[in-house]
Structure 1
Amino acid sequence: MPYITTTDGVDIYYTEQGSGQPIIFSHGWPLNSDAWALELKVFADAGYRAIAHDRRGHGRSGKTYTENDMDHYAKDLSELVEALDLHDVIVVGHSTGGGEVVRYAARYGNGRVAKVVTVGAVPPLMLKTEDNPEGAPIEVFDGLREGVLGDRSQFFKELAVPFFGGNRDGSDASQGLYDEFWREGMEMNGAAAYDCITAFSETDQTEDLRALEVPVFLAYGDDDQIVPIDAASKKAVGLVKNGTLKVYPDAPHGIHGAFQKELDKDILDFIAQ
């Protein structure tokens, strides 16, 4: 399996398919690069070099005890891009991965990043504060922390349902989808699972969004039960210089089914412009 080793000694797993302009997919919490298995084929078939990696502490990457934060996630992505000598890169991030690619593009992407895509992403800030009343209260994230420190296996089984909208009438989320979510979640180590909650909920990325110079496509499901849209993409699109927001009716936070098919087509259209 292919790896790079970061300057602070963490092995980062990645996988790739196809050739052409590079497109990198960054996964959400608590998932790993397997969440992008379909996209790797779809975008490789469309003529792109499709790449996905496991964030530190997740999947097959090094099981880190410290430095599970947005700064290190973005730096790891930068070191992967440099190790593969990628240019004219499209970066796509889902949920926490959206925060990762936004910080990467803002801090390291000048001259390398061509476009940014986020899906149900966490920027600018998920946490409710005096300046961000649309965010979720700290008790929500404390509950997630309790989940990963308690019966983590059962916690991920239960979290999968609202993640994919399985608690809504007419949902086509399958048991297999829930099982895969559980499997990927259980491949994280405890410290990374716990610390990443702070990373995705309390990292203010307002200035990262303002720093983006390239076109940005922001996708969001209007039935997202995980990341509050009013604190996230609806604010983010007003902070970037060249952004387009598309809200998908009845779509959940997790990418699957009809939402996934429409989203992938829209991303292909966006990067072809």
Structure 2
Amino acid sequence: MPFVTAKDGTQLHYEDWGTGRPVILLCSATMNSRMWEFQAPYLTERGLRCILPDRRGFGRSDRPWDGYDYDTLADDLAALIDHLGLRDVTLVGYAMGGGEAVRYLSRHGSDRVACLALVCATTPYLLRAPDNPDGIDVAVLEQITAAMTADRPAYLAGIAAPFFGGPEATPDSLSLSPQLVDWVIQQALDGSLRASVEITRTLFTEDLRADVRGVDVPTVIIHGDSDPSAPLDLCAHRTASLIPDSRVVVYEGAAHGLFATHADRLNAELLEFATP
């Protein structure tokens, strides 16, 4: 299996499919590269080269105790891009993957990046603060991490319906099969608990507003208007207001799991955006 070595010696797994213009697909916070099962084959079959990394702590990558801050994750991404000698890259950041992408751009520059797609991204800043009064209270973060630590399978099962269907969704109301929902839950459970807790802490507490302001590549922001994990106004619209060369595509009635619930539409959007 292909691996790249991070600066601290962590072995990071990735898949590298196809030829053509490279697209790096950065997954949601506690997921791994398998979440792109609906997108990567579609894009590869249509002439793009898809690179799918497993974030440290998840999938087939090493599971170190530390390194779950955005600086380290951005440096992990830089190691992959350097290792493969990539240029003219389309970065696709899903949820927390959007934070990795913008921190990579602020930390390593855009010389190797052609454009950026932010899908359900948690940028620019989730946490409530004096200068971010509409953010999410820190108590919510503590409740999430406590629930993860106490009974991670129960916690993930409990948030699955809102993840895919929005705040009022129930398991019976979802259009997805129970097997697909279970498959996603198992991906999240496959990551280390330490990584899951620290990644969640990072996505809530790290302020990416300066990073987002510095994005200097064409950007599309794809977001559902019923996303309970990354609220549309707090995330997509504020991110767009900070990136001059950006546009927002809103999926009406959609929640956080667009990669599965709206796969056909998302695939077409990404193909059009990433194709020269």
The CA deviation at 1:109 is: 3.8
In the other structure, the counterpart of 2:19 is 19
Query: Structure 1: how far apart are the matches of 2:105 and 2:207?
Result: 15
Aligned partner of 2:183 among 174, 180, 204: 180
Q: Which SS does the other structure have where 2:258 is aligned?
A: coil
Distance 2:190 2:10 in 1: 16
- Alignment length, in residue pairs? 273
Alignment of structure 1 residues 1-273 onto 2, 5 Å: 1-165=1-165, 167-168=168-169, 171-257=174-260, 259-272=262-275
Q: Is the 8 A contact 2:39 2:263 kept in 1?
A: no
Secondary structure, counterpart of 2:52 in structure 1: strand
State the 1:257 CA deviation: 4.7
> 1:177: Cα distance to partner?
2.2
Inter-partner Cα distance in structure 2 for 1:44 and 1:202: 35
Which stretch shifts more, 133-142 or 79-88?
Answer: 133-142
5+ residue gaps in structure 2?
A: none
Contact 1:145 1:197 in 2 (8 A): yes
| 3-state SS of 1:232 partner | helix
1:116 is aligned with what amino acid?
Answer: L
C-alpha separation in 2, matches of 1:194 and 1:131: 26
Quote how far apart the aligned CAs of 1:168 are. 2.8
Distance 1:138 1:90 in 2: 33
Q: Is the 8 A contact 2:48 2:275 kept in 1?
A: no
Q: 1:144 to 1:229 in 2, by over 3 A?
A: same
Q: Decide whether the 8 Å contact of 2:164 with 2:261 is kept in 1.
A: no
Aligned partner of 2:257: which letter? G
Residue pair 2:10, 2:64 contacting (<8 A) in 1 also: yes
What's the CA shift for 1:271? 2.5
Q: Which amino acid aligns with 2:230?
A: V
TM-score, reference length from structure 1:
0.96
Residue pair 2:91, 2:116 contacting (<8 A) in 1 also:
yes
Distance change >3 Å, CA 84–CA 95, structure 1 → 2: same
2:153 and 2:13 map into 1 onto residues whose CA distance is 24
For 1:148-173, what per-residue CA distance to the aligned partner results, in whole angstroms no more than 9, with x for missing partners? 21111111121222111175385303
User: What is the CA RMSD across the aligned residues, in angstroms?
Assistant: 1.5
Could you tell me which amino acid in structure 1 is paired with residue 162 of structure 2?
Answer: P
The TM-score with structure 2 as length reference comes to 0.95
For 1:87 and 1:186, locate their aligned partners in 2 and report how far apart those are by CA, in whole Å. Answer: 34
The 3-state SS of whatever aligns with 2:100 is: helix
